[in-house]
Structure 1
Amino acid sequence: MQHWDVIVIGAGAAGLMCAAQAAYRGRSVLVVDHGKKPGRKILISGGGRCNFTNLHAEPSAYLCHNPHFVKSALKRFSAHDFVELVERHGLDFYEKTLGQLFCQDSAKDLLNILLSELQYSGAQLQMRCEILNVSATSPGFVLTTNQGALECDSLVVATGGLSMPKLGATPLGYQLAEQFGHHVYPTRAGLVPLTLHDHDKQRFDALAGVSVPVQVRSLHGPAFDESLLFTHRGLSGPVILQASNYWQPGEIIEVDLLSNLDCNQWLKAMARERAKVACKTLLYEKLPKRFVDLLVAEHPAASTAIGQLPSAQRDELANLLNHWQVKPNGTEGYRTAEVTLGGVDTNEISSKTMQSQKVSGLYFIGEVVDVTGWLGGYNFQWAWSSGWAAGQVV
């Protein structure tokens, strides 16, 4: 039976980072993965350009039942540290918006950097390696695989979540955690489009493809200012993906269609300054025409000249614009989700080393852990930070 100091299960962002770090320390390291190729989620993310980190990756941008857990890893290996790493390899990248960094050409360039680091460090990679069983021994672990038995002193679980099953997502990491006595929080799709009830689908059918810059507020989370996109199935776009992490079934989402305006004051001013102009004409100047036409169809008063609109109706229109509400009926699920919410309970993991507090030599990193970042490179940064932290000690 082949013996390794460290075996990492999962050849994604966190696993590759951890493996190279550990091997640079002189450890013999093997990365195993059941897929055909490493880093598949890296390759498809960000439209093939991979939004690989965010310059504002602060703890407040992460959902975790223990909000303090992420602080240590993010501080010790920050977005700027990862940028230094890719710059050493000559990666061309650019900042899109809101601190989001993307590869200039292709996500393949980033994956090649990670694989180069793996090669330089001396870590080995074994693909199409299916884990059939894991058992604890003294002093380490034995893995039964379709390619034979493997033995290690330290085992790192970097198996990812359940999002994007077409890329080979499995519940293996959660099963291993439970096998070794860890609590696993229930999982659900995160950073995912929201679906609508049939009556709203029909109501918004003509808006498919329309994008509106808005602010979305949910009951449990912060407000997000980005674009909302109407689809044939429901609502998408960056602002909806962000809000989906906080949305609970049955809740209403509130949308500020003109978040840069106090619409009450704006419409009052228009009533004075442009009294003969129809409300819908004013709205055409601010919002996509197809969306305004829907509002007018549902609220005929919007066809009236602003100066002729009774103050009560004007206030009603202002309230609609700043507090438009919609009630989703669900999400599109793991099929299109970018991440998985929930996972291995961080109260049972060291925030400094990612080691299990129940089983010595067992580590959990990346998405399998109960840590989920906002849209915009935050989840990749968690992969780099947690992988780096574990790599320093395994």
Structure 2
Amino acid sequence: MEKFDMAVIGAGAAGMMCAAVAGQAGRRVVLLDHAAKIGEKIRISGGGRCNFTNLHAAPAHYLSENPHFCRSALARYTPRDFIGLLESYRVGWHEKHRGQLFCDVSSESVIHVLKAECDAGRVSWRHPVRVHDIARGGAQARFTLSTDAGAIAADALVIATGGLPVPKIGASDFALALARAWDIPVVAPRAALVPLTFSVAEWAPFAELAGVSIEVGIQTGAGRERGAFVEDLLLTHRGLSGPGVLQISSYWTAPAPIDIDLLPGRDAGAELLAAKSTSRRQLATLLADWLPARLAGVWADVAGVPRDARLADLPDRTLRALGQALNGWRLHPAGTEGWRKAEVMRGGVDTRALSSSTMEAKSCPGLYFIGEAVDVTGWLGGYNFQWAWASGVAAARAASRQAV
């Protein structure tokens, strides 16, 4: 049986970061993963350029049933820390939109850095290998892992196996199943950062508009669970996608509606009335100045106003109602595209069962959960990778101190 100070299960963003930091602190670390290719979620993110962090990452950008949990880890490992790591390897990067940072060349650069950091810490790799069973309280160490590569003993065990999205790249419920088996509470998982779908009847007028994109204001929920964004929306054959919809999906729960402002920052009713007094234009022609042309025509149809109707011929009440609808398009999603299209998982191991400073399970000394496996879900735009780096570092530093 091989003996290590720490075993990390899951060679993704959080797992590699954790293993590297612990290894470089002098701990003997083994990193295990069931996949032949490690870091696949890093590889496919950001269109192949990895949106590796966000300059503005702060606790307000994360959702959890325990909303203050993420503060400690995020404060102790910041976006600037990860930028510094990339720059030490001369990895070029650029800001694309609202603090979102991407690699100049390829997401492979991030994987290379993490692998190199693990090698600098003399981390032992075991992949592809499956962990069949984990026993607690052995004679040699706190944990004994039964794997395809033989038995492994470790004093600290870090679970970094991620969540359920994108099953085609090897997503699994390993972390959730282990937590439940060891009586550690789990917040029910659901797909997040995911397109929304609608009933055939509700979406029939808009199905032909697949591919149309527009910046909108979009919101749903209430109180702490209220989300409101101004982002691009994309119409699809089955419903809505695009950054704005992905953001709001993390806040949406059935049967709540979502509200969309097609003209954010503008009073559509007032502008329609003003145009009526100065123009002989047709309604559809005017709407095409404000909306994508295809959407403008369908919007007139849905509103029950003939496309060739002139503004001057329409009653003020009709224009006010149309304006209200443009600023407050209310829809009732039927569901989401599910794990197949989700970018992250909402829910996970209940953070109230973990230490916010160390990520260690309160009921099981030496056991840590990090990254997406934990009930901490970031906004779209690099926030979830920053949580992976920060939580991985927090666990590594804590476990390393305990081993001294």
Fold match (TM-score > 0.5): yes
**2:292 equivalent among 288, 292, 296:** 288
SS of the residue corresponding to residue 38 of structure 2 reads coil
Please tell me whether the aligned partners of residues 5 and 27 of structure 2 are also in contact (alpha carbons under 8 angstroms): yes
C-alpha deviation, 1:266, in angstroms: 1.8
Match of 2:25 in 1: 25
Q: Partner residue of 1:116?
A: 116
Structure 2 letter corresponding to 1:367: E
Match of 1:44 in 2: 44
RMSD between superposed Cα atoms in Å: 1.2
Instruction: Tell me which residue corresponds to 1:5.
Output: 5
Deviation (angstroms), 1:84 = 1.1
Shift of 1:137: 1.4
> Residue 392 of structure 1: which of 392, 397, 403 is its match?
397
Question: What is the aligned partner in structure 2 of residue 212 from structure 1?
Answer: 214
Partner of residue 181, structure 2: 179
Name the counterpart of 2:82: 82
**Which blocks of at least 5 consecutive residues in structure 2 are unaligned?**
400-404
CA distance in 1, matches of 2:322, 2:273: 11
Q: Is 1:257 aligned to 2:257, yes or no?
A: no
Range with greater deviation from structure 2 (261-270 or 152-161): 261-270
Equivalent position SS for 2:256: coil
Structure 1: give runs of 5+ residues left out of the alignment: none
1:18 is displaced (CA, Å) by: 0.4
More off after superposition, 94-103 vs 298-307:
298-307
Distance 2:350 2:124 in 1: 29
* Contact residue 205 and residue 302 of structure 2 kept, 8 A: no
Contact 1:301 1:309 in 2 (8 A): no
Q: Give 1:65-144 correspondences, 5 Å limit.
A: 65-138=65-138, 139-144=141-146
Cα distance in 2 for partners of 1:121, 1:4 equals 13
**Residue 232 (structure 1) shift:** 1.6
Indicate the residue corresponding to 1:248 in structure 2: 253
Measured after TM superposition, the shift of residue 302 of structure 1 is 5.8
Which one is further off, 129-138 or 370-379?
Answer: 129-138
* Residue in 1 that maps onto 2:402: none
Q: Give the whole-Å Cα distance in 2 for the aligned partners of 1:348 and 1:131.
A: 24
Q: Does residue 355 of structure 1 match 2:363?
A: no
| In structure 1, distance between residues paired with 2:367 and 2:14 | 15
**Displacement, 1:303?**
3.9
Q: 2:302 aligns with which of 277, 298, 304?
A: 298
Partner AA of 1:322 in structure 2: N
Extract structure 1 runs of 4+ deviating beyond 3 A: none
| Corresponding residue number in structure 2 for 1:374 | 379
Instruction: Tell me by how many angstroms 1:271 deviates.
Output: 2.4
- Measured in 1, the distance between the counterparts of 2:89 and 2:313 equals 65
| TM-score scaled by length of structure 2 | 0.95
Provide the C-alpha distance between the structure 2 equivalents of 1:96 and 1:268, rounded to a whole number of angstroms: 38
- CA offsets, 1:192-230, max 9 Å, x none? 011110113422121011111111111242211111111
Decide which of 265, 275, 286 is 2:279's aligned counterpart: 275
Letter in 1 for 2:172: T
- Which one-letter code corresponds to 1:96 in the other structure? K
Counterparts of 2:164 and 2:354 in 1: how far apart (Å)?
Answer: 21
Q: Contact between 1:301 and 1:313, CA under 8 Å: does it hold in 2? A: no
SS in 1 for 2:363: coil
Looking at structure 2, the residues matched to 123 and 288 of structure 1 have their Cα atoms a distance apart, in angstroms, of 54
Q: Look up the SS of the partner of 1:228 in the other structure.
A: strand
Partner residue of 1:197 out of 199, 203, 209 = 199
Counterpart-to-counterpart distance in 2, 1:165 and 1:46: 18
Q: Shift in Å at residue 301 of structure 1?
A: 5.2
Code of the residue aligned with 1:80 in structure 2: it is: R
Q: Distance in 1 between matches of 2:302 and 2:345?
A: 37
